[in-house]
Structure 1
Amino acid sequence: MTSPQGIEAVGLTKRYGAKTVVHDLSFTVRPGSVTGFLGPNGAGKSTTMRMLLGLDAPTHGTSTVGGRAYAGHAAPLTEVGALLEAKSVHPGRSARNHLLALAHTHGIPASRVDRVVELTGLTDVARRRVKGFSLGMGQRLGIAAALLGDPATLVLDEPVNGLDPEGVLWIRTLLKSLAAEGRTVLVSSHLMSEMALTADHLVIVGRGRLLADTTVEAFVRSSGTDAVKVLSPEASALAALLAGPGVEISSGAPGELRVRGADGEHIGRTAAAHSIPVYELTPLTASLEQAFMDLTRDEVEYQAAVSPASASLEGATP
């Protein structure tokens, strides 16, 4: 692994005819952390990743990986490991022979092939033809290929796709350990719950434009969806006292309030001042999924209509 310098995109723009897929996109992915690359379908994530790796030429703008354009690396596998399409493998080859073929292009020894086969859990199927692989096994092979050159930078598109729960835990642990070694890790995913557990930083795009470039913690905190759960036998009276500009109050189960715009201290003091008993006062942190949905609500390319059946269930109680 060489000294990592991260990924830098400056003004990346990609047009196909009259359609602009990526629009003046600039961001930096720093070593030592896992950066989640998020956005709805059609946001331009895959096109951006392809431009970073020199597979698509930008209409405007530049990008560097490890301090230079991808095409400028003499031995790309030892600088950048990429997973964009796990099934881009000759189906008649075994997993080990596929990796050996890649290794020969860079003078990588067979011992390293065996090491990544072991690391990705493919030892028992390494000599089987790839055409018989499941989706999850194909993902593991793609990740093995990305790790083959012991690169300083990883660019992975939907690496958990097709993995079982054990595999998801494995890739999460692997990505975090690689970042802890000082590597640069850029990973896209539609699984917000997994990104919340894996990523340290987020780059979020919508319709080809940058929407957010921040830490996971700061993004969730700034979403404005935090609330406080309150349980009280006099919930209605407390709600009337808390009502005011910027305060949103909703009711759940009997005696339960969800309060936004007022913190637990203010709620507790208000209740105490009016001798209202409070049985529970719990801050509820917004989820990454909810914060993401709020930010990208107007950026979704294809929105499904609510069916009459699902609409009739919205107000139902269990």
Structure 2
Amino acid sequence: MNAQPDAAIVVSNVTVSYGAKRALDDVSLTVPAGASFALLGPNGAGKTTLISVLCTLRRPDRGSAAVAGADVVRMPTQARRSIGVVFQDSSLDDRLSAWENLEFHGLVYGMPKKRRRTMIEAALALVELEEWTHDIVRSFSGGMRRRLEIARALLHEPRILFLDEPTVGLDAQTRQRIWQYLETLRRERGLTVLTTTHYIEEVEDADSVCIIDQGRIIAQDTPAALKERFGQRWLTVLPQDQEAADAILASVPQVRRLGAQRLALPAEDEAATDAFLSTFRDRLSEVRFQPPTLESVFLSLTGRELRDRADGQRDAEKAAGRRGGQR
């Protein structure tokens, strides 16, 4: 692997397979130090597998990867000292207090007692959990647990922070607060942040967005450049019944399925769009225009929505976010 002194993360031709399924297929990317870098892709695209490789949890079958200059296979201990990780699923010990969870993390990283205490106090203050320092984590809301996990990931002052779907199931206010913490740290510490997420709005301000699907990188650039190059205006519709859906599919060659029921068609041609609506308006339950966005970029490149999930699952996540509380 060629040395790249200004790069926080370098991935070269990485391939990972699980049996016959190829989770990552010859993936290469570079993340500059101090950058905000986003991986976008549906469930099963390979995002979590790539995070696992970079966190030294999974050896690549082929290729190489380095974080903060340390090869993740040949120098795993050095690599781990440079990174902090917030996994999609909580890994806190809910039988311990917030302080005890952070204390254990500091001990694992060999932090001296005085430094450990100072950093724990600072981390809890950052995520606004000082009031619950000695409360058992089992009593915490979903939002509080996620904030504590971020505090833990930052405790040993890593140079790179990996966030794997860090805000799934959280309410909008908590999500916004978490991103404010991270942006502050990125400015103050020069922290490199690599995020995987389903939430498009969370990465609109990222320095670079990498779109991954079926284990392959299909596009990478700034959000503005991706929208300029691949973004389209789409009309998404919900037919009233299967008969209406079949009629649309039969008469509009460019139409694409979105999940089980909704359909999408390009809306750049106003005359064609008007003609479509004139024909089918009375057979549609929902009509929505979607301007060029990162979501439309993904739709244009893959023919599918980024949030490749059933509406029921989406509703369940929203409900979970409401239950997560605002504490």
Give TM-score, length-normalised by structure 2.
Answer: 0.70
1:122 to 122, 126, 129: 129
Pairwise CA distance, 1:75: 5.8
Equivalent AA in structure 2 for residue 174 of structure 1: Y
Distance 1:140 1:131 in 2: 14
Q: 1:40 to 1:86 in 2, by over 3 A?
A: closer
Equivalent AA in structure 1 for residue 70 of structure 2: R
What residue ranges of structure 2 are gaps of 5+ in the alignment? 235-267, 278-289, 312-327
2:265 aligned residue: none
Pairwise CA distance, 1:154: 0.7
- Asked if 2 retains the 8 angstrom alpha-carbon contact of 1:95 and 1:125, the reply is yes
Pairwise CA distance, 1:126: 2.1
Structure 1 position 187 matched with structure 2 position 208: no
Distance 2:178 2:153 in 1: 13
Deviation digits for residues 3-50 of structure 1, max 9, x if unmatched? 974111111111111111111111111123211111011101001100
Distance 1:223 1:110 in 2: 49
Q: What number of residue pairs does the alignment pair up?
A: 254
- Asked if 1 retains the 8 angstrom alpha-carbon contact of 2:11 and 2:30, the reply is yes
Distance 2:168 2:304 in 1: 26
Deviation digits for residues 46-70 of structure 1, max 9, x if unmatched? 0110011110111111111001124
Distance 2:104 2:174 in 1: 25
1:1-318 superposed matches below 5 A: 5-70=7-72, 72=75, 74=77, 78-108=81-111, 109-181=116-188, 182-196=190-204, 198-225=205-232, 248-249=269-270, 250-251=273-274, 286-297=292-303
Distance 2:308 2:224 in 1: 28
The structure with the largest helix share of the pair is 2
Q: Which moved more, 1:27-36 or 1:110-119?
A: 27-36
Larger radius of gyration: 1
Distance 2:292 2:308 in 1: 25
- Asked if 2 retains the 8 angstrom alpha-carbon contact of 1:33 and 1:176, the reply is no
Output the aligned Cα RMSD. 2.9
Q: 1:95 to 1:302 in 2, by over 3 A?
A: same
Task: Give the % identical residues.
Answer: 32
Distance 2:129 2:42 in 1: 32
Pairwise CA distance, 1:117: 0.9
Deviation digits for residues 112-147 of structure 1, max 9, x if unmatched? 011101111211222111222222122111111111
Distance 1:292 1:206 in 2: 9
Pairwise CA distance, 1:86: 4.8
Q: 1:137 to 1:143 in 2, by over 3 A?
A: same
Distance 2:124 2:308 in 1: 39
Q: 1:156 to 1:301 in 2, by over 3 A?
A: closer
For residue 70 of structure 2, give the secondary structure of its aligned residue in structure 1. coil
